[in-house]
Amino acid sequence: MLVDSHAHIELKDFNKDRDDVIDRARKNGIDYIVTVGIELDDCRRAVSVAESYEMVFASVGIHPHFAKAIDDETYDVLRELAKHEKVVAYGEIGLDFFRNLSPRDIQIRRFKEQLELAHELDLPVIIHDREAHKEIMEILEPWNGNQRGIIHCFSGDYAMAKQCLDWGYYISVPGTVTYKNSSVLRDVVRKVPLNKLLVETDCPFLTPDPKRGKRNEPANVVLTARKVADIKGVPFEEVCRITSKNAMDVFGIP
């Protein structure tokens, strides 16, 4: 059993073969997939995909790339979408100072607002952090354990991971852990307790080795889980069991 805790199978990349992608995931032992919205129309698609497949759940929220597009109606729409029985999280939200597709001050303001909304909705958050470690930690610190959720596609060091764990967050490991230049992430995986780790694809992005260069998909989360097992020196089946339990606990999947 495995859970792909962060995918984007609602994106157009999967429009031609979504049924086949889901079937391959199932045949590779993936029991659940959480598909994550990034802007309003995409959130609607994520919920629609989750409605169409029993094994798929959805998350809704506005990615920092689209923070500048948030207006007075955005949060009302998200509140309505969040009522759907297949919505299990709020996100992905956060900061992206690598591409800066929205101004940094707007990203920060909207991130804070969305943390408040997730708390209001009693949903765990899925946090995006790219080249913004300091600011992310400063914004999360006042919550101090009063907000549950996941640091998605973790890219910080172990000191940052330890602080996130102390605040009650899970660390999610993507396919980048299989890359040769990912020594810092492998160190994090080695040190973080297995009962605080999730695995994810972030598909169609971040395809793990040896399939790097091809479109990523949920079935490939097996490769990430095997790498985690290798790094931690534990059986693959144990990684599957514990990371799946972690995902089901944080998302409230029965």
Backbone angles phi, psi at 26, to 5 degrees: -60, -45
pLDDT confidence of residue 150: 98
Laid out side by side, the sheet with 197-199 consists of: 2-7, 30-36, 56-60, 87-96, 125-130, 149-151, 169-173, 197-199
pLDDT confidence of residue 179: 98
Note whether 227 and 197 are within 8 A (CB): no
* CA dist list (Å): 18 to 24, 26, 46, 60, 86: 10, 12, 12, 20, 18
Residue 44, token pair as written in the block: 């609607």
pLDDT confidence of residue 213: 95
* Burial class of 250 by CB neighbour count within 10 A (0 to 12, 13 to 18, 19+): buried
Nearest-angstrom CA–CA distance, 98 and 151: 17
pLDDT confidence of residue 145: 86
Nearest CA among 108, 232, 124, 115 for reference residue 168: 124
Residues 6+ apart with CB under 8 A from 97: 104, 107, 130, 131, 132, 135
10-residue stretch averages of pLDDT, the chain, 254 residues long? 97 98 98 98 98 98 98 96 98 97 98 98 98 98 94 98 97 98 98 98 98 97 98 98 98 94
In the block, residue with structure tokens 């910080």: 156
- pTM summary value: 0.97
CATH number of the domain residue 54 falls in: 3.20.20.140
Nearest-angstrom CA–CA distance, 22 and 238: 23
How many separate domains does the chain show? 1
In the block, residue with structure tokens 């909705």: 121
Nearest-angstrom CA–CA distance, 169 and 4: 17
Most distant CA pair in the chain, distance: 50
Structural domain span for residue 190: 2-251
